[in-house]
Amino acid sequence: MAQQTLIPFGPQHPVLPEPIQLRLVLEDEIVVSAIPIIGYIHRGLEKLVEQKDFQQNPFLLERICGICSFIHSMNYCQGIEKLMGLEVSPRAKYLRVFWSELNRLHSHLLWVGLLADSFGYENLFMWAWRAREKVQDLAEFTSGGRVMYGTCSVGGVRRDLSPDQVRHVLSEMDQLKDQLDKLVPAILNDYTVQQRLVGVGAISREVAFERGGVGPIARATGIRYDHRTTGYAAYGDLQFEPIVETAGDCYARTQVRMRELYQSIDLIKQVFSKLPEGPLQVPVKGNPDGETVTRVEQPRGEVLYYFKANGTKNLDRLRVRTPTFANAAALLAMLPGCELADVPVIVLSIDPCISCTER
Amino acid sequence: MSMEIENCVPVTSDQLLEQVAARKPMGYRFVTMSCVDVGGAFDILYHFDKDYALSNLRMRIEDGQSVPSISSIYFAAALVENEIKDLFGLSFTGLALDYEGRFMLSEGAPTAPMRKTPMPGVTTTPPERKEIVWPNKH
């Protein structure tokens, strides 16, 4: 038997934008096992939620993640609205879909840039982040913030889009699609990219399911699971199909995310072709009471919020389970058997968000 | 009337493993666990998903009572159980991966910070910092 070596991968590592450590046990160049060590950026946000007014929490919960910020606040608002029996206006629901899909575009473009960077493809990194810049400009144009939108509140949304703004967003979407038409084939057809991704970090459908994998990790193995199909917000009125691949490797995960970029552009166009008129907010009276669970689909997968309210303005408990936490167990199944040089690519292929994981 | 979670079954710690093991062959995906401090006791909720519908188990645990780990059935639960162990100060038996209370929290962090009332020995003051002695300080 070859001698075993333990390598601490992280918490500070060139490919990791956030701190996480993986203790890798190696035999020669091959990974035998991996254990994740987290806790470098635990902020105690779940505890802070208990001390804030339930109306203040959407803005706090946005700060769980700098990428899927709007979706966090939307999931929270949906939970409180369920507890209080509020029915949000159709216009607010459509606008929520718009900002959610903007989050998804932002997340996937950021991720593909980081992935390209992880195997030294700097040019692709800059192309992807140039496209991402357009998405962030749109976020600022429609919400006022490039990262924190602050547009979702209990009972609806806080900002409206004028017809001029809608026209601008749609023309930007066309330009973004043109950019993607150049970018996506460059990623998926490139010899180097295929050499680094095809067959790397593959897991089967059964393993992904058993480990509780969600989002693109599950869909890349053939599991047809996308929580948007349950029709929350206005997704029930829009036409789309979950994007599924079957290979289960890093390349399949890239394919899923790249096709989701086009899907998001299409969903945003559908939103503005059907955007109904109406109020943005419904009046919120009283305090939430009882228990409920809400789930929505983030760029990285399904996020779950558990609420326990007691009829006062403060919640008794809010539990957040983010997709990276679910995918971490799947990551541990991808690493054994891979080469040390592939570890950065495999880690990035789950799109790890450590701030989300630790909250 | 306050709202309750749909499809939630109460279980005792003796029935838990049997109930969880029965769900796996039925095609349930383990989603997560939630721990709630209800004052002197804890509610642990186990969330499972099948075809977009949640199936929940609710277990009441007295303070000091140890919790049977379901990580031998669903490995993914080991990470959540370690988080609950750190943040609520509960003990688990049969953990597939045990971080010994150092999963989320580092040395010098408060003990069981998510409890409503702090545990004995809780300290929120950071550990004392050693003074740095610069070699060429004049």
What is chain A's mean pLDDT, rounded?
A: 89
Please answer yes or no on whether B37 and A317 come within 8 Å at the CB atom.
yes
User: Quick check: is A16 in a domain?
Assistant: no
What gap in Å lies between CA B56 and CA B52, rounded to an integer? 13
Contacts of B114 (CB under 8 A, 6+ apart): A46, A47, B35, B37, B87, B88
User: Quick check: is A333 in a domain?
Assistant: no
The token duo for B108 is 């010098």
Q: Are A253 and A271 in contact (CB under 8 A)?
A: no
Asked if this assembly's ipTM is beyond 0.95, the reply is no
Q: What is the pLDDT of residues B65-93, one digit of tens each?
A: 888 888 888 888 988 998 898 888 888 88
Q: What is the pLDDT of residues A130-182, one digit of tens each?
A: 999 999 999 999 998 888 898 999 988 988 899 999 999 999 999 999 999 98
Integer angstrom CA distances of residue A284 from A145, A156, A292, B3: 25, 10, 18, 17
The minimum CA-CA distance between A359 and chain B, rounded to whole Å, is: 10
Tallying the residues shown for chain A, one arrives at 359
Tell me, what's the pLDDT at A248? Answer: 87
Q: Is the pLDDT of residue A353 over 80?
A: yes
Q: Are A38 and A357 in contact (CB under 8 A)?
A: yes
The minimum CA-CA distance between A292 and chain B, rounded to whole Å, is: 5
User: Quick check: is A340 in a domain?
Assistant: no
**Residues 36-55, chain A, touching B (beta carbon < 8 A):** 36, 38-39, 42, 44, 46-47
* CATH number of the domain bearing residue A202: 1.10.645.10
Please answer yes or no on whether A317 and B36 come within 8 Å at the CB atom.
yes
Please answer yes or no on whether A321 and B3 come within 8 Å at the CB atom.
no
Q: Which of A42, A308, A317 sits opposite B104 (nearest CB)?
A: A42
The token duo for A227 is 């929580």
Residues in B whose CB is inside 8 Å of some CB of A read 2-5, 29-32, 34-37, 45, 47, 52, 54, 56, 74-76, 78-80, 97, 102-106, 113-114
What gap in Å lies between CA B16 and CA A294, rounded to an integer? 24
Q: Are B3 and B40 in contact (CB under 8 A)?
A: no
DSSP class per residue in A12-63: S-TT-SS--EEEEEEETTEEEEEEEE--SS---HHHHHHHS-TTTHHHHHGG
Please answer yes or no on whether B3 and A292 come within 8 Å at the CB atom.
yes
Residues forming beta bridges with residue A159, ordered by sequence position: none
Q: In b/e form, how buried is each residue of A253-272, taking b as 16+ CB within 10 angstroms?
A: bbbbbbbbbebbbbbbbbbb
Q: Which residues on chain B are in Cβ contact (under 8 Å) with A210?
A: 74-76
Q: What angle do the packed helices A122-143 and A163-188 form, to 10 degrees? A: 170
Q: Which of A95, A58, A56 is nearest to A76 (CA)?
A: A58
Domain count, chain A: 1
Q: Which residues on chain A are in Cβ contact (under 8 Å) with B104?
A: 38-39, 42, 358
Q: Are A155 and A74 in contact (CB under 8 A)?
A: no
Please answer yes or no on whether A306 and B78 come within 8 Å at the CB atom.
no
**Residues 271-300, chain A, touching B (beta carbon < 8 A):** 289-293, 295
How many CB atoms sit inside 10 A of residue A349's CB?
A: 28
What gap in Å lies between CA A202 and CA A345, rounded to an integer? 12
| A57: containing domain | 41-320
* CATH number of the domain bearing residue B127: 3.30.460.80
How many CB atoms sit inside 10 A of residue A199's CB?
A: 13
Q: What is the pLDDT of residues A290-310, one digit of tens each?
A: 889 999 999 999 999 999 988
User: What angle is formed at CA A353 by the lines to CA A11 and CA A120, rounded to 5 degrees?
Assistant: 65
Q: What is the DSSP letter of A11?
A: S
How many CB atoms sit inside 10 A of residue B133's CB?
A: 6
For A357, nearest residue in chain B (alpha carbons): B104
The token duo for A139 is 């976020």
User: Quick check: is A337 in a domain?
Assistant: no
Q: Which helix (H) or strand (E) holds A290?
A: strand A289-298
How many CB atoms sit inside 10 A of residue A144's CB?
A: 13
Chain A, chain B: beta-carbon pairs less than 8 Å apart: 82
What gap in Å lies between CA A125 and CA A112, rounded to an integer? 7
Please answer yes or no on whether A321 and B36 come within 8 Å at the CB atom.
no
| B47: containing domain | 1-138
Please answer yes or no on whether B3 and A46 come within 8 Å at the CB atom.
no
Domain count, chain B: 1
CB proximity A321 to B under 8 Å: yes
Q: Are A273 and A169 in contact (CB under 8 A)?
A: no
Tell me, what's the pLDDT at B126? Answer: 62
The token duo for B18 is 């049997």
Which amino acid belongs to residue A138? Answer: L
Mutate to test the interface with B, among A35, A230, A319, A335 (most CBs of B within 10 A): A319
Confidence band of B125 (pLDDT split at 50, 70, 90): low
Backbone angles phi, psi at B62, to 5 degrees: -75, 155
pTM: 0.88
Residues forming beta bridges with residue B3, ordered by sequence position: A290
Backbone angles phi, psi at B49, to 5 degrees: -125, 140
Q: What is the pLDDT of residues A29-83, one digit of tens each?
A: 889 888 888 888 888 888 888 888 888 899 999 988 888 889 999 999 999 999 8
The minimum CA-CA distance between B10 and chain A, rounded to whole Å, is: 15
